[in-house]
Amino acid sequence: MPGNILRVLGAVLFATCFATTLHAQTGPTSGPLRIHPTNPRYFADATGRPVYLTGSHVWQNLQEGNSITFNFSAYLDKLQSNNHNFIRLWIAESPQADVALMPAPGFTGNTPWYQKTAPLPYARTGPGIAADGSPKFNLTQFDQAYFDRLRARVLAARDRGIYISIMLFNFRDVWNANAPTPGRNVWRYHPYNASNNVNGINGDPNGNSNGEETHTLQLAAVTQLQDAYVRKVVDTVNDLNNVIFEISNADQPGDLAWQSHMATLIRTYEAGKASQHAVGITGGVGTGNTALLNSPADWLSFAAGALDNAGDPFISSPPATDGTKISILDTDHLGYALFQNNPSATSMWVWKSFLRGHHPILMEDLQGSTGWVAGRSAMGQTRSYATRMDLATVAPRSALSTTGYCLANPGREYLVYQPASGGFSLDVVAGTYTYEWFNPTTGTVAASGTIGAQGGSQTFTPPLSGPAVLYLKSSTTLTSTASTDATAMGHWPFEEGAGTIAGDKTGNGLHGTLVNGPTWSAGKTAGGITFDGINDYLQVSNPGPLSPQKVTLAVWAKPSSFANTDWNSTLANVGLHEWSDGYYGLAITTTGKPLALLNIGGGEPNAYYLEGAAISAGQWHHLALSYDNATLRLYVDGVAAGSLSINRIRPSNASPLLVARRGDAGYHFKGTLDDVRIFSRAMTTTDIGAIMQGTATTTASSSSPDTASTTSGTTSTAGPTTSTTTASGTTITGTTTYRASTDFSGVQGQRGWFYLDSTGNRLTFNSATSIWQGSEAYLQLTATDGHPGATRDAVRRWVAPGAGTVQITGTARDADSGGGGGVTVSIRKGSTVLWQQAIANGNSTGVTFNVTATLTSGEALDFVINRGSDGSNSYDTTAFDPTITFSTTTASSTTTSTPIATGTYRASTDFSAVQGQRSWFYLDSTGTRLTFNTATNSWQGSEAYLQLTATDGHPGATRDAVRRWVAPGAGAVQITGTARDLDPQGGSGVTVSIRKGATVLWQQPIANGNTTGITFNVTTTLATGDALDFVINRGSDGSNSYDTTAFDPTITFSSSTVTSTTGTTPPPTTGTAAVTLSWNRNTEPDLSFYRVYYGTSSRNYSNSMGVGTTTSSTISNLTSGTIYYFAITAVDTSGNQSPYSQEIAVSR
C-alpha cells in the first residue's frame, strides 16, 4: 500500500519543512477567545481563527509555599520549548494546611505542598492573630500584591504566546477537610473562618469544620465578598486577551448554583468593559459530569469516576465531543500516578483526546518523570497538527477508521491515530492526497508523499512499529460531497436508488439501514424513499453524535395520507417517545399539522409539543426543528411556524435515529421522505432557508488553505479558485455626539453609559431622586455632576459602539463651594490617563478640557471624580458633563423609515435564565439583581423566599420581588393580566403594583385566599429605555409568610416609526432599523454569490443570508440601540466559501 511505497522518499526534506511549521501559530494578541461560530469544539480568536489549547500546569505557578520561589520565567521557557500554549493558573484560598499534607501525593522527598501559601487576595491587617500565626485577614481590604502578581504573570504568558485560565476559587475536593487523608485540614486557616478575620464573617455556620457553605449561595455576606473579589480580578485583567476564567477547581455538583452565579456575575460585569472572556467549570472526581453539561459554562473539564482508574473512559478512550461545550480535558481530574511514569499511556491519552475533539492538558511537577516528558512532547505534537489543519471544518469521525481515532473533514483532510502497531483501514473520499506518516514516539516524520484514493475503505500500513499518525490532505479537485459543516452530525440525501443502505453524506459513517422493504423513488431533489405507513422504516445506529444537546433536525416530506391509527405519523426521531428523556422528533398529526416534539429530561411532565398550521397531502413540504437549550422552534417550508421558551438543557439519548416510525413502535409515516439532516447546533431561519432552497454549501472545498495567498479582494490558489471579499474601499466616516447629561437614564448601558464606583461596582438607581447611588455615603452620579465616596471614586463610563476616534470636550467645576479641599477629576482609557486636573473648592468657573483618542469597538472611557489630595470627600459635588464626538469608519449604512409592528411581551413566555433577555430583568426593591438557580428554574434573592419564577413571585422579609421590563424603543404599551394568591394556607396577603419609575400606574392589595385574583388593564407611553416594574410587596401586615403570588403581565408594545437617512453611525433610535452594506466586487469568473454574516457578538454571527452577486445589501429588522457586527464571504460555483472579510461594527 502507499505507506510502503515512499518510506524513504523525501523524509529528510519534509521533516525540515515540518519543523519550521511547528511554531507558526501566532500569539494571543488579537482579542479575547470566543466560541468558534461554526465549530464550537474550539475557541476562536478575534480574527476568527480556531484555537486549540494544550499545555502543562503545576500547583505553584501563581502562589508559592514557605520560602520557595517559583521561577515563572523558566516555567514559560519549558512550555515554549514544548510548543505549549495554555496553562491553568492555580489559587489556594487558605494560607496553610496541616502538615499531614506533606509530601504531596505523587511527589517524593520533602517538597512542601500547600503550606504557607502567599500572596493571597485579602490583606492581613489584624488586629489579632489567625490560626497560622500571622495577622488576621481584613476581608474588606485587598492585598494588591496578589493582583499585581496575577497581572504580571498573565502578561508574561501573553508575551510568550500562551493563554491562561485564571482559577478564581479552589476549596473543595483535594483541599476538603473531610477528605480521606487523616489530618488533612485547610478550613482551620481559611480567611472565611471566623477565627481568622476581623470582619465577623463565619463561613461555617453548621460547625462541621469544613466551610463548604462558602461555595454555595447560603451566606449572603460571603457571596458579597466573593463578588467583590471576582470584580477585582476582572478589573485586573480585563484588557488582556490571553485570559479565560475558571470558577473553581473541582467543585461539587451541589454547588452549581453558586458557580452559575459567579459565571453570570463575570458576564454581567464585563458587559460594560472593553473585553468579555470565556468562563469555565471543572469537574470533581467521582461526582459525575452531568452537572457540567447542564451548566452555563462556555468550557468545562470532565472528571473520572475515580483517580488513576485505567479503565475510566476519559482515560482509556475519551468520548468524542459534539460541540455542546468546549472540553479542556485535564489529568488533574483523571489521575496522577497513572501518567507520571508511563510514557506510553500518557502519550496515547494526549493523542486520543486530541483526535476526539478535546483540548488535553497535563498536571505535573516539571521534573524528569518519563510520563511527564512524553506528555509534554505529545501535546506539542498535537498542537503542530492543529495549527496545520483547518479546525473550523474538522470533527471527530471515529467511524471512518478502524483505529477509532480520526479527526477529519472528509474529502479534504484526515488525521488518524493508530495507538497499536500494524495496518488499519480508513474510509477515504476519492481523490489525490499528500500523506505524512509521523512517529509520535520519536517525534519525527517517517515518510511522506502523494497517493490516489479510489473512494471507500482503504488499508494503510505505517512504515514504523508502535503508535503512528497518518495525515492526509487533498491536493486535487475533489469529487466529494462530504459536508464541510463541523456541526453536521448526519445527512442522508437518499441518492442511492437501490439496496438496503442509505449513506451518510457527512463522512461520520452513520449509514442507515432500510427495514421491511421501503422503496427507492423520486425525491424532492433527486432520489427519495417511499414508506408504506404499515411497518417499514429506516434505522441509523447512534454512537452519540445523533443526540447533541443543541440540535437541528430537518427533512423533506411528501405525505400521501395523514390517516393513522395513532395520533401522529413520525417523520424522524431519536428516543423511544416524547416522554423519554432527551427525545426529539418531527411528526405530522392526523389533521395534517406539522409537529416538533422534545423532552428535556424528567419524563412526561417535561415533554414539549409545538404545532404548526396544517399542510397539504400529496405535496412536498420542508419541516425542521431546532433547540438551543433555551427555545424550541418549528419551521415549515423555511418559515418560522412557532417557538416555545423552555430554558432547560436537553439530556442526551442513545437510541437510534428512526425515520418513518416512532422509536418504540407504530406511528408509521405513509409517503415519501428526502434529505434528512441533523446538526449539533440550532440553525437560524436563514440556515433553514438555505437548506430548503439547496443553496447551503454541503460540498467539500476544492482547494487547500495552505496554498492560499491573499491579495486585495481576492484569494489566489494553486488550481481551483476560492473567492473572498473584504470591506476595504467601501467605508465612510460619520460623526455621532454623546453627552452625559442628555443621555442620562436609569438604565445601565443606555446609549453606552454606565454608572460605577472605582472598584467596578455598579451604582444603584434611585428613581425617587433620579440619582445613581453607591454603597458609600454621598457616592453618587446625577445627570450633570457627581460626588465621590469616602474611599471610592464616582465613575461615569462610556463604551465605544465601534472603532473610531473621539473628541471629548467640556468643563469640570466645583458645584458645592461650602468647604472641603477640592477634588481631582480625570478622563481615562483603561489604565491610561488621558487628562487629569485638580479642581479647587470654590472654583465654580472650572477647568475646560479638549481631549482626543482612538478607540476600538468596546473600549471604555472613564470620567472619574476622586476626593482629591486632602483625602476628604466633604463638599465634593463636582459638575462633570463631558460631550463625546465620536467619528467612526464603518460601512455605508442607511437607517430607513421602518414602522414597527405591534410586539407582544409576556413574563411567562419570555422567562429565561438571562438578565435582559427579551428586555426582562429580575431584581429586588433595592435594585440588586437576583441570581438564577438552574435546579429550581427560578431567580432567587439574598433574602429567604425572595424569588421570581416564570409566572409568579414571592417577596423577602424586607425586600420586594421586582420583575422589570425595559422598552426597546419609544411608543405606547397596554399592560393586561391578573394578579392572584397562589398560597392560601395563611398570611394576610400582598400588595402588587405596576410602576413606571417613581410613578405608580396601578396598585392593589391581594388578600390571602383570593385565588381568582384581580385583573388589570393599564396603558402608558414610554421613551426608549424607560422601565416598567411589576412589584410584589409583602403587604400591610409586614410579613412575607405564604406570599407566593401569580403576577404574569402581558405587554402589548406599539412603537412609533423611525425615519433617518445617514451615511454615518447615528445614536440609537427607537424601534427597528436597517443597515445597508456595500463592498468591493470580486472579479473571479467562478463567483456564485456573496453571503452576509451578522450578529450582536464580534466574530460570533447568529445570522447569515445569501445576497446574490450584487455588491450591496440592506439588512433590516435590526434592534435599535444595539451594536451589530457584519462580515462578508464569497462563494464560488463549486460551493467553496472564502474566509470572513474584515469585520465592521454598526450601532443602530
Listed in sequence order, the residues at least 6 apart from 823 whose beta carbon sits closer than 8 Å to its beta carbon are 788, 814, 838, 839, 865, 866, 867, 868, 876, 878
Residue 992 to residues 873, 1034, 1044: CA-CA distances in angstroms?
40, 9, 11
Phi, psi (deg, nearest 5) at residue 348 = -60, -40
Same domain, 1028 and 1119: no
Q: What is the pLDDT of residue 59?
A: 85
Residue range 462-489, pLDDT digits in tens:
999 999 999 999 885 433 334 456 678 8
Instruction: Take residue 605 and report the three cell numbers written for it.
Output: 411532565
Phi, psi (deg, nearest 5) at residue 59 = -60, -35
Instruction: Confirm whether 19 is domain-assigned.
Output: no
Same domain, 420 and 391: no
Q: What is the pLDDT of residue 540?
A: 92
Q: What is the pLDDT of residue 630?
A: 85
CA dihedral 320, 325, 331, 333 (to 10 degrees): -120
Which of 1007, 1023, 1054 terminates a domain? The answer is 1054
Q: What is the pLDDT of residue 1098?
A: 67
Q: In this structure, are residues 289 and 271 in contact, taking their beta carbons and an 8 Å threshold?
A: no
Same domain, 876 and 948: no
Instruction: Confirm whether 470 is domain-assigned.
Output: no
Instruction: Take residue 285 and report the three cell numbers written for it.
Output: 472526581
**Distance between CA atoms of 524 and 694, rounded to whole angstroms?**
11
**Distance between CA atoms of 381 and 386, rounded to whole angstroms?**
9
Q: In this structure, are residues 489 and 322 in contact, taking their beta carbons and an 8 Å threshold?
A: yes
Same domain, 137 and 116: yes
* DSSP, res 891: E
DSSP-assigned states of every residue in 243-280 = EEEEEETT--GGGHHHHHHHHHHHHHHHTTSS----EE
The crossing angle, in degrees rounded to 10, of helices 144-158 and 72-81 is 30
Q: What is the pLDDT of residue 885?
A: 86
Residue ranges of the chain with per-residue pLDDT less than 50: 1-26, 100-114, 173-180, 477-483, 695-734, 889-901, 1056-1071, 1148
CATH of residue 36's domain is 3.20.20.80
Instruction: Confirm whether 999 is domain-assigned.
Output: yes
Q: What is the pLDDT of residue 768?
A: 80
Same domain, 1047 and 1063: no
Q: What is the pLDDT of residue 1136?
A: 66
Same domain, 457 and 503: no
Q: Can you give the residue range of the structural domain that contains 976?
A: 903-1054
Q: What is the pLDDT of residue 151?
A: 95
* DSSP, res 739: E
Q: What is the pLDDT of residue 112?
A: 42
Phi, psi (deg, nearest 5) at residue 160 = -105, 5
**Distance between CA atoms of 1100 and 91, rounded to whole angstroms?**
31
Instruction: Confirm whether 717 is domain-assigned.
Output: no
CATH of residue 556's domain is 2.60.120.200
Q: What is the pLDDT of residue 705?
A: 21
Which of 993, 1026, 1054 terminates a domain? The answer is 1054
Same domain, 1066 and 1016: no
Phi, psi (deg, nearest 5) at residue 1016 = -140, 150
Q: Which of 1082, 1103, 687, 1065 is nearest to 895 (CA)?
A: 1065
Residue range 229-276, pLDDT digits in tens:
999 999 999 999 999 999 998 876 556 788 888 998 999 898 878 889
Can you give the pTM of this predicted structure? 0.54
Using CB atoms within 10 A of its CB, is residue 328 exposed (0-12), middle (13-18) or buried (19+)? Answer: buried
Domain count of the chain? 6
Q: What is the pLDDT of residue 585?
A: 97
Same domain, 991 and 1071: no
**Distance between CA atoms of 416 and 397, rounded to whole angstroms?**
10
Q: What is the pLDDT of residue 986?
A: 81
Instruction: Confirm whether 856 is domain-assigned.
Output: yes
Instruction: Confirm whether 206 is domain-assigned.
Output: yes
Q: What is the pLDDT of residue 69?
A: 79
Q: In this structure, are residues 634 and 647 in contact, taking their beta carbons and an 8 Å threshold?
A: no
Same domain, 821 and 869: yes
Instruction: Confirm whether 114 is domain-assigned.
Output: yes
CATH of residue 948's domain is 2.60.120
Listed in sequence order, the residues at least 6 apart from 457 whose beta carbon sits closer than 8 Å to its beta carbon are 425, 426, 427, 428
**Distance between CA atoms of 696 and 690, rounded to whole angstroms?**
5
Cβ count within 10 A of residue 159? 12
Instruction: Confirm whether 64 is domain-assigned.
Output: yes
Same domain, 793 and 870: yes
Give me the amino acid identity at 88: R
Which of 1019, 1054, 1089 terminates a domain? The answer is 1054
Q: What is the pLDDT of residue 115?
A: 56
E strand spans, 73-182: 86-89, 122-129, 135-142, 163-169
Q: What is the pLDDT of residue 1109?
A: 75
Same domain, 538 and 678: yes
Same domain, 998 and 1080: no
Q: What is the pLDDT of residue 60?
A: 85
